[in-house]
Amino acid sequence: MITDKDKIEQIIKNRKIAHAFYSKKSEVYRKFSEMEQCTYQDGKLSRLQKELIAIGISVVMDCESCMEWHIKQAIDGGATEAEIIEAVEVGIEMGGGPATVSARFAMNVIEYYFK
């Protein structure tokens, strides 16, 4: 049986493999990566605030890879578990009932990093 812990670790592994491949082969992927770096720079909103926004959006979109990435980035930026949970809760409110399903995975990612 595949657990969420296994899924999280596979997402991390797959991202590293894909990033290495596409960054060498795809101009579009390289440009997207540059856009991402620019987007998450401190501006009127801090990088951390932007990561928390992205967590809520990831829950609404039900993007597990996005949830893992932005939760980890928020943690690396100094977010507390409580701040990340509030960002997940904003996603639940914006996405309604279906977002509660996505939020379950987000909560498992939080547990993966904080426990």
Digit-coded pLDDT (tens) for 60-109: 999 999 999 999 999 999 999 999 999 999 999 999 988 998 999 999 99
pLDDT of residue 20: 78
Q: How far apart are CA 109 and CA 115, in angstroms?
A: 10
| Residue spans per domain, the chain | 4-114
Nearest to 61 by CA among 90, 105, 91, 104: 91
First vs last C-alpha separation in the chain: 21
pLDDT of residue 2: 77
| Separation of CA 85 from chain center | 13
Nearest to 50 by CA among 64, 31, 63, 36: 36
Q: pLDDT confidence of 10, banded at 50, 70, 90?
A: very high
Q: Sign of torsion, CA 15 16 20 21?
A: negative
**For the domain with range 4-114, which CATH number is right: 3.40.50.300, 1.50.40.10, 3.40.50.150, 1.20.1290.10?**
1.20.1290.10
12: tokens are 């991390």
